[in-house]
Amino acid sequence: MIGLETMTALIAQHGLAFVAPVALLAVAGAGRMTLGRLPWFNLPGTVPKSLFFVALGYEFGAAYTGIDHWISRAPSVLAVLILVVGASWAFYGRAIN
């Protein structure tokens, strides 16, 4: 069985994307599950999650023009907000001191 020290070393060396499948196999191995049965237990959780992200991507893709309109305004709004906060801090900060 893979110990905590081994998993920590694998995460530090390869990153979490490499270790996640190894952890899945380690848990399946700890439960004495054969590799032939593992996909049948993994599939019911994977398919709905994948369909959710596909639908989410489809909806954001369909709404791109509306979202793009608002996102293009964000830098201007942020710049005005920074100027207002900076000016009020400069004015009221000096008035207090």
Give the tens place of pLDDT for each residue, 32-55: 878 788 888 888 888 999 999 999
Tokens of residue 37, six digits: 């049965």
Q: Residue 72 domain-assigned?
A: yes
The 3-state DSSP class for residue 95 equals helix
Q: Is residue 85 part of a domain?
A: yes
Which region among 16-30, 35-49, 64-78, 80-94 has the lowest average model confidence (pLDDT)?
A: 16-30
How many domains does the chain contain in total?
Answer: 1
pLDDT at site 1:
58
Could you tell me if residue 87 is inside a domain? yes
CB contact at 8 A, 19 and 10: yes
Instruction: Please report, for residues 28, 67, 76, 82, 86, the alpha-carbon distance to residue 72 in angstroms, rounded to integers and kept in the order given.
Output: 48, 9, 8, 17, 23
CA distances from residue 25 to 10, 34, 37, 48, 51 in whole angstroms, order as listed: 14, 10, 12, 21, 24
* Interatomic CA distance for residues 11 and 78, integer angstroms: 38
Model confidence over 3-30: pLDDT tens digits? 778 877 877 887 766 666 777 777 777 7
The answer as to whether 24 is a domain residue is no
Q: What is the pTM of this model?
A: 0.45
Structural domain range at position 85: 68-97
| CB proximity list for 11: less than 8 A, separation 6 or greater | 19
What's the mean pLDDT in 57-84? 87
Write down the pLDDT at residue 56: 94
- 26 residue type, one letter: A
Evaluate if residue 61 carries a pLDDT over 70.
Answer: yes
